Structure 1
Amino acid sequence: MRRAVAHYTYHTSIPNGASLSRSIFRCAEFVHRSRSSFFPLFVVHPSRRVHFRNSQQLTATPVCAQSTTATTMSSSKVIIVTGASRGIGLAIAQHLLKESHKVVLAARSKDQLEALKAAHPGQVEYIAGDLGDLKTIPKIAEAAVKTFGKIDGIVINHGVLEPVTRLADSSIEEWKKAYDINVFSGLALVQASLQELRKSQGCVLWVSSGAATGAYAAWGAYGTSKAAMNHLSAHLAVEEPDITSIAISPGRVDTAMQKVIRDAGGGHMAEKDHSSFVSAFDKGELFKPEQPGNIMARFVVNPEHNLSGKFIKWQAGELSAYQDA
């Protein structure tokens, strides 16, 4: 059985005119059978929808669940992760490192990034700085190419909730700062990385929020900036068809941002909304960062291209192949 060892867009012809395109080669073996011959094909992600140009018989035999093979097949991926010093970004970085990938990390705080680099020699490069300063952004892509020679994916995870104030009480300057961090820095990073992403036919994963589609009082800057992020992801998918671009909502996760909601939201948010966040924390109902983080880490190295342009929750059925066993 011949096994494919790459996850790039792939197109090959086989006898009798059947053609397989855009497969993630991961966890199941597909065997093509015709009337007179037996043709072994490839290791393909079990959730991948396979299209043939004519009506050939196709059988699939699962060969693994959460595979260690997946790591081998997508080894040495180079992934940029922003907001990587804590929370979801840190969880994503740790999972990628555990799976032997290389990462370029970006965040304001240096200490955690330096600790990761020391703990994983040869796997980590980082840029510490203000991601709201657009002069910082090109340095991240440059570091990836200089250190590891390529860029296979980006996780745009950094963001701020502030200002937590109602429209009547917030300033345009506060909104501009929020948009610089939540929207324009992500766009700038994609632009700086685009040439390499085209080469690798890579993935951009935007860590979004339910606030992109559901309005909360005093979250105007955050919610609208996340909606803008989602639309950026969709536009990237349309304009760059060889790159997978997806926005994923992590839900309510036990991170520093949740503390900001609890501490600063009272008196600004609607009381019932603020109380629901406080209650979720008190009852231990918040997700752990690694729950959505692990799924996002798996997706960015082995993206399902059919999901490009979509905004979905991390628990969605479309991501079932990436869930923890």
Structure 2
Amino acid sequence: MTRAAKAVVAPGRGLIEEFNVGSREAWPRELLSHDFRHGLADWKSAGRARVEYVPGVSVPFCHYGLAAFGHFVLDGLLQIYLNHRALTSGEAILVHWPFEEAWMSDLIAQLDLPRTARRVLRKDAALLETARLSSALAGHGVYFPAAYSLKFFDWLRERLVGTRTVPTSFKRLYIRRRAGGRRPVHDQDQLEGFLRGRGFEILDPHAESVSRQAQRIAGADLLLSSWGSGLALAPLLGGARRVLELTPETVTDVWFSRQAAVNGLRYTPIIHPSTDGSIRPNLPAIDQALGRLA
């Protein structure tokens, strides 16, 4: 694996490029052309790469995106769940490059892993003696949720929230989208004022710990969010487990509708005209959708 798992070499498969879905800000797009040179028969090689050798059995966390919350939870944490017994028994070790944000380490720390069960990689490339990879070439936790998703979220709920209970006082939550991101919600202040008038609380995922976010979502009845990572913890919802998603018409992937179906969520997408993935909230359409849920 090369830096941040931008590429992976697998026996019999050669170099697998563009393996990582995140870390756009941390690693240059031209990483492979910087690190590797074409040789005979289109082989690529790196002459001065610093290689870190990892003996034994490793569970690579870093081949999934480190910057995207949804992939971090639904793909990365899924690897820990699937290999939890091996990691806690010492049979395997979790390996990753340094995390980019503090919440990532805080979240990993709540998953009952011994301190000795992790190794932070420091060099340009890692050579793993044996790698345990699940869904290695795609974010299956995000894009192809199946029956394991139910047990995964039970496991995650127990660590972040506690045992599952039905909330006694139902709440509505809107998950705020970070300003200046790649998928902006325009006029978000206006949207939030509109939603507060209809009983919503605002959840800012960049101002609260992940465990606090999980607790608030687990105690809610209805969740509204723009499409993407904001819905990663939606299966923790209590009550009627209703989700409204503001979706741009340019989105052809229906990953969350599958996640909702598997996890028994009552899901309503509200389609918005868009050419770049951004959302300009259609307040009448949102109001109509909320009216149907009343």
Quickly name the TM-score band, shorter chain normalised: 0.3 to 0.5
Higher helix share: 1
TM-score under structure 2 length normalisation? 0.33
